[in-house]
Structure 1
């Protein structure tokens, strides 16, 4: 899979995901990444809604169907999307 965010393309393992998530948290803390969902409940709600509706993202952006089995990069994409999905 070729994600539009090159950072996601580098995630191949659990350790890669862990590094991505800690780096993402640092970007939120230092203000270099502005978020729409700053509270835990709004973040979790957004993650659930994006996951439920990711068919549209895959159809329009990825140009392929949603994979049946998620990989580490897809989990990272859900976290990333949940920060800004409204």
Structure 2
């Protein structure tokens, strides 16, 4: 799979995911990434809504169907999308 966010392409393990999430938190804290869902409930809700809608993302952006078995990169993508998904 070829993610449009190059960092997602590097995530192969749970340690990679943990490092990505730490970097994501730092980028949000530093203001490099705007946070559209600042409350926990909004973030979790955005995660759920993006997950439900990710078939369209995979079809239109990735050019593949959503895999039957998620991997560490897909989990990271859900977190990343929830930061800005409205």
Matched, 1:62 2:62: yes
Residue matched to 2:22: 22
Please report the TM-score for the alignment, with normalisation by the length of structure 2.
Answer: 0.98
Structure 1 regions of 5+ residues with no counterpart?
none
Matched, 1:6 2:6: yes
Please report the TM-score for the alignment, with normalisation by the length of structure 1.
Answer: 0.98
**Shift of the alpha carbon at 1:35?**
1.3
**Shift of the alpha carbon at 1:10?**
0.3
**Where do 4+ consecutive residues of structure 1 move more than 4 Å?**
none
Structure 2 regions of 5+ residues with no counterpart?
none
